[in-house]
């Protein structure tokens, strides 16, 4: 989407020293202060030719401020001819193996190239409308950089029935994850409340207060399948990394990533909950199987459910994509 024509303003003497986002609401009258702040943080404002991203900066007298306001995004996603790996399809639903790096539905920063865009092209308009124009057919989601099996409703009756099955936890969902260290105990049922982090609004966190009713209940059943390597300087039997299977009873945002990090075993490659890369692992990587892995090591391997119309039991299982297979191969050589 192209930007609208740039809007220029020169700061007058009586504006000198005023907070930038407050001044912008006066000179760009059609924009709210929150919108001005968001545009500045997104790099849409230049001052004397240099990008300024601090909305709290002070206005400089005589400086030329140029604001590029993007055109509004279309309200309805466009169909795009994007290849899909289809595991099953009939008139009521479609099951796909989502690639890592593909966002499920359009949102800020990802208006095109999403799974919804691809499905609109492939299904030629035969997607359930219950999810709304931005999320047609979407019953559940995977994070952008999580690969694996997803089911999408093509009919409204399928959407309603699948939604009910997910809500009642009647869907089998198993993920495989590569994590730092090894969780203790090696297998357990983890039940916590998850809420928005008070330190970083992009993150969620476990609510430690047992009396709190904030957030939402999240339940993960995990089992350590393999351990790899020896943590330097730690007691014998302390692994560098592990392969863990996680089975979900609930499907909260970032649930597995948060729960594993809460156990002190964040997913390898997780940019949000991983607190940086594992130096011991990086030092042992003579090639680039670990160093080039650029996402959280999480794959939705199994999805099982009753067909919402026929009642037939369906179960799909997929191998991790090649980048994660290379990572697992590196760990097995430790």
At residue 1, does pLDDT exceed 60? no
User: What is the spatial distance between Cα 40 and Cα 51, in angstroms, rounded to a whole number?
Assistant: 9
Whether this model's pTM surpasses 0.95: no
At residue 233, does pLDDT exceed 90? no
Reply yes or no on domain 7-67 having CATH 3.10.290.10.
Answer: yes
Read off the pLDDT of each residue in 216-236 and give the average, rounded to a whole number. Answer: 94
Pick the CATH number of 172-332 from 3.30.2350.10, 1.10.15.40, 3.40.50.1370, 3.10.450.50: 3.30.2350.10
Domains in the chain: boundaries? 7-67, 100-167, 172-332
Q: Of 151, 106, 157, nearest to 129 (Cα)? A: 157
pLDDT at 141: 93
User: What is the spatial distance between Cα 231 and Cα 60, in angstroms, rounded to a whole number?
Assistant: 54
Residue 92 among the catalytic residues = no
Read off the pLDDT of each residue in 168-180 and give the average, rounded to a whole number. Answer: 96
Given 143, 170, 270, 323, which residue is catalytic? 143
Read off the pLDDT of each residue in 159-182 and give the average, rounded to a whole number. Answer: 95
Read off the pLDDT of each residue in 223-231 and give the average, rounded to a whole number. Answer: 95
Peptide bond into 310 cis (omega under 30): no
């Amino acid at each position: 989407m192209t930007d609208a024509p740039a809007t220029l303003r020169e700061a007058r003497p009586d504006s000198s020293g005023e907070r930038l986002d407050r001044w912008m609401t006066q000179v760009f009258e059609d924009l709210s202060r929150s919108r001005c702040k968001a545009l500045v943080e997104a790099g849409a404002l230049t001052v004397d030719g240099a990008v300024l991203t601090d909305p709290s900066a002070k206005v400089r007298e005589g400086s030329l401020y140029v604001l590029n306001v993007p055109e509004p995004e279309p309200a309805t996603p466009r169909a795009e001819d994007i290849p899909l790996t289809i595991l099953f399809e009939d008139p009521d639903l479609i099951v796909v193996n989502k690639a890592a790096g593909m966002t499920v539905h359009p949102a800020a920063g990802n208006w095109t190239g999403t799974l919804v865009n691809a499905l609109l092209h492939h299904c030629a308009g035969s997607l359930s409308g219950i999810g709304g124009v931005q999320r047609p057919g979407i019953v559940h989601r995977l994070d952008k950089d999580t690969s694996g099996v997803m089911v999408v409703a093509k009919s409204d009756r399928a959407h309603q029935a699948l939604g009910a099955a997910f809500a009642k936890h009647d869907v089998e969902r198993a993920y495989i994850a590569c994590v730092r260290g090894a969780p203790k105990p090696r297998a357990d049922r983890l039940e916590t409340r998850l809420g928005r982090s008070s330190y970083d609004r992009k993150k969620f966190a476990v609510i430690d207060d047992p009396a709190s009713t904030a957030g939402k209940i999240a339940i993960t059943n995990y089992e350590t399948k393999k351990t790899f390597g020896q943590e330097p300087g730690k007691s014998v039997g302390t692994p560098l990394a592990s392969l863990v299977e996680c089975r979900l009873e609930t499907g909260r945002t970032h649930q597995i990533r948060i729960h594993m990090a809460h156990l002190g075993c964040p997913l390898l490659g997780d940019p949000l909950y991983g607190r940086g890369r594992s130096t011991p692992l990086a030092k042992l990587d003579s090639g680039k199987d670990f160093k080039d892995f650029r996402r959280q090591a999480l794959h939705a391997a199994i999805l099982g459910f009753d067909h919402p119309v026929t009642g037939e039991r369906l179960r799909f299982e997929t191998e991790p994509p090649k980048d994660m297979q290379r990572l697992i191969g590196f760990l097995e050589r430790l």
